[in-house]
A = this chain, B = another copy of it.
Amino acid sequence: MTATAVERPLTPAARRILAVAGDLFYERGIHTVGVDLIAREAGVTKKTIYDRFGSKEALVVAYLRHRDQRWRAFMIDRLRRVDDRYARVLAVFDALEEWEAAWDRGCAMVNAYAELSDPAHPGRAVARDQKAWTVELFAQLLDDAGVRGAPMLADQLLVLHEGAVVATHVGGRDSAVTVARAAARALLAAAANPGTSA
């Protein structure tokens, strides 16, 4: 009963803290940003941070969750605009391209995984959940499009999705999302029209 705290709405100061911490964590990394800096930038004292979030670790988890929610909401919104169920599968890559253009430091979940080396850190579960959600999204979209009998395809699309982000930022390959979408289109076509190959 007491284990799961009630989701109370954030106080104004807490919202400011989360916004500032989100920007700083994403842009400069979790370890390099101290709570003193967050307090200063948010116009808040350290005590307020600890009163609202309890610890830096909890603040990091809140940051990752918030970021994950934004990403999911963005993706759902973009997919809703696409009528054709078949095209909607590939529209994930259009949305990714748009998202990528707005952020220059890659995937916050992947970056957090890299920084949080302790397997027990709760932030890792947030990152893992996002990837599970994404592969489930692909599976759902494929099912909606009537593409069945290709059990690996949703996982393949996840791999293309994650690889596109890494290739863009770490590899500096600007067209990686386009490249990934072309691969996705080919795999999707092969699964939708079986028998065209030996």
Do A105 and B117 form a contact, CB below 8 Å, given A152-B179, A156-B182, A166-B110? yes
Q: How far is the CB of A93 from chain B (nearest CB, A)?
A: 11
Nearest CB in chain B to that of A154: its residue: B179
Q: How large is the interface on A (under 10, 10 to 19, 20 to 34, 35 or more residues)?
A: 35 or more
Q: How many copies does the complex hold?
A: 2
List, in ascending order, chain B residues with CB within 8 A of A165's CB. 166
* Interface presence of A172 (CB below 8 A): yes
A135–B170 alpha-carbon span in the complex (Å): 13
Q: Is the CB–CB distance between A167 and B105 below 8 Å?
A: no
Q: How far is the CB of A105 from chain B (nearest CB, A)?
A: 7
Q: Is the CB–CB distance between A197 and B187 below 8 Å?
A: no
Q: Is the CB–CB distance between A170 and B29 below 8 Å?
A: no
Q: How far is the CB of A141 from chain B (nearest CB, A)?
A: 17
Which residue of B111, B135, B163 contacts A159 across the interface (Cβ within 8 Å)?
B163
Question: Which applies to chain A's interface (DSSP): helix, strand, loop or mixed?
Answer: helix
Mask of A17-33 contacts with B, CB within 8 angstroms, 1/0: 00000000001110110
List, in ascending order, chain B residues with CB within 8 A of A87's CB. none
Q: How far is the CB of A156 from chain B (nearest CB, A)?
A: 4
Q: How far is the CB of A127 from chain B (nearest CB, A)?
A: 5
Q: Is the CB–CB distance between A131 and B29 below 8 Å?
A: no
Which residue of B114, B128, B176 contacts A155 across the interface (Cβ within 8 Å)?
B176
List, in ascending order, chain B residues with CB within 8 A of A193's CB. 197-198
* Interface presence of A88 (CB below 8 A): no
Q: Is the CB–CB distance between B160 and A29 below 8 Å?
A: no
Q: How far is the CB of A55 from chain B (nearest CB, A)?
A: 17
Q: How far is the CB of A109 from chain B (nearest CB, A)?
A: 6
